[in-house]
C-alpha cells in the first residue's frame, strides 16, 4: 500500500492542518474543508518537548476520524514517537509521520508503522539533511520536508529547503521507490508554484486554508498557483 492508493499520483494533494481550525467546532470544520475538495486532513501533534508548543492528542484525532471521510495524515512532532504509534493508529490515523531528529532507530520505527497497517512518513526539519542513500528509503511511504521550524502555524516559508525536495525526487526516480513528497510550513499561493516545481505532491497548509473564511476559494487558489 502507498499514499498513491489514496491519492492521485502526479496531481497535487492538499492537506489542511486542523491545528488552524476552530477547535471548538471540529466536526463542522472537517465538513467545510472536505466540501472544498481537499484530499487529506493533516493532524499536527506537538509534545512541548521536541517543539515548544503542545497541541492535541489521540482522543482529538479519534473525534476528527468520526467526522472525516478523507485519510488522516498525522504529523508527530514528539520525542520517541515509537511509544505512541499504536495509539494514533487506533485513533484512526492512516499516515504516521515521525521526525528523523527524534528517533534512535528510524528504520525500526518506520517498520513498526507499516506493521500497524499505517503509511510510514519521515519528516526532516529545515536544518536537517536528508538521510543518505541507503536502506532507510525503502521503508518510507512519505517524506515530509519542513519549510519552517516546527511548532507553530503562521511562520514564513524557508525557500532554501526546496533543494531537498528536488534531491528526494531525483532519488525516487533513480531508485524507482514510491514515496510521496510533502511540504509543510508557510505554504500558500505565493510559494505553491515553486514547491510544486521542486517536487511537492502534497502541500500542508494551516494559515492559507484554515485561516480563510472561504476554504473552497483558498484551496482553488493554491491549486491554481501550484500550476
184 is catalytic: yes
Q: How many residues bind ligand DX5 (CB under 6 A)?
A: 20
Backbone dihedral region for residue 199 (phi beyond 0: left; psi -120 to 50: alpha; all else: beta)? left
Q: Does 57 bind ligand DX5 (CB under 6 A)?
A: no
Phi, psi of 123 (to 5 degrees): -110, 145
Distance CA 101, CA 103 (A): 6
Which of 44, 47, 73, 141 is the catalytic position? 44
Residues 60-99 that bind ligand DX5 (CB under 6 A): 75
Q: Does 215 bind Zn ion (CB under 5 A)?
A: no
Distance CA 227, CA 12 (A): 9
* Dihedral sign for Cα atoms in the order 169, 171, 176, 177: negative
Write the binding mask 204 to 223 for ligand DX5: x where contact by CB under 6 A, - elsewhere: xxxxx---------------
Query: Could you identify the residue written with the cell 520505527?
Result: 109
Compare residues 176 and 186 and give the one whose CB is closer to Zn ion: 186
Q: Does 75 bind Zn ion (CB under 5 A)?
A: yes
**Which residues partner with 136 through β-bridges?**
none
Q: How many residues bind Zn ion (CB under 5 A)?
A: 3
Phi, psi of 71 (to 5 degrees): -65, 150
The catalytic site residues sit at: 44, 184
Binding residues vs ligand DX5 (CB under 6 A): 17, 19, 42, 44, 75, 148, 150-151, 153-155, 184-187, 204-208
Amino acid at each position: 500500500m502507498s499514499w498513491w492508493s489514496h491519492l492521485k499520483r502526479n496531481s497535487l494533494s492538499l492537506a489542511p492542518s486542523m491545528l488552524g481550525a476552530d477547535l471548538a467546532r471540529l466536526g463542522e470544520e472537517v465538513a467545510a474543508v472536505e466540501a472544498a475538495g481537499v484530499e487529506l486532513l493533516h493532524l499536527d501533534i506537538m509534545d512541548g518537548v521536541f517543539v515548544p508548543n503542545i497541541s492535541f492528542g489521540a482522543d482529538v484525532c479519534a473525534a476528527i476520524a468520526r467526522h472525516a471521510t478523507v485519510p488522516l495524515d498525522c504529523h508527530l512532532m514528539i520525542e520517541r514517537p515509537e511509544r505512541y504509534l499504536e495509539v494514533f493508529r487506533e485513533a484512526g490515523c492512516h499516515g504516521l509521520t515521525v521526525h528523523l531528529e527524534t528517533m534512535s532507530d528510524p528504520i525500526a520505527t518506520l517498520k513498526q508503522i507499516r506493521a500497524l497497517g499505517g503509511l510510514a512518513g519521515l519528516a526532516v526539519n529545515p536544518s536537517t539533511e536528508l538521510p543518505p542513500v541507503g536502506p532507510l528509503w525503502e521503508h518510507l511511504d512519505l517524506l515530509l520536508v519542513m519549510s519552517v521550524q516546527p511548532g507553530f502555524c503562521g511562520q514564513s516559508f524557508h525557500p532554501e529547503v526546496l533543494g531537498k525536495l528536488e534531491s528526494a525526487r531525483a532519488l525516487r526516480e533513480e531508485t524507482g521507490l514510491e514515496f510521496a513528497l510533502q511540504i509543510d510550513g508557510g505554504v500558500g499561493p505565493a510559494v505553491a508554484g515553486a514547491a510544486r516545481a521542486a517536487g511537492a505532491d502534497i502541500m500542508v497548509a494551516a494559515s492559507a486554508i484554515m485561516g480563510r473564511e472561504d476554504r473552497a476559494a483558498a484551496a482553488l487558489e493554491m491549486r491554481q498557483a501550484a500550476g
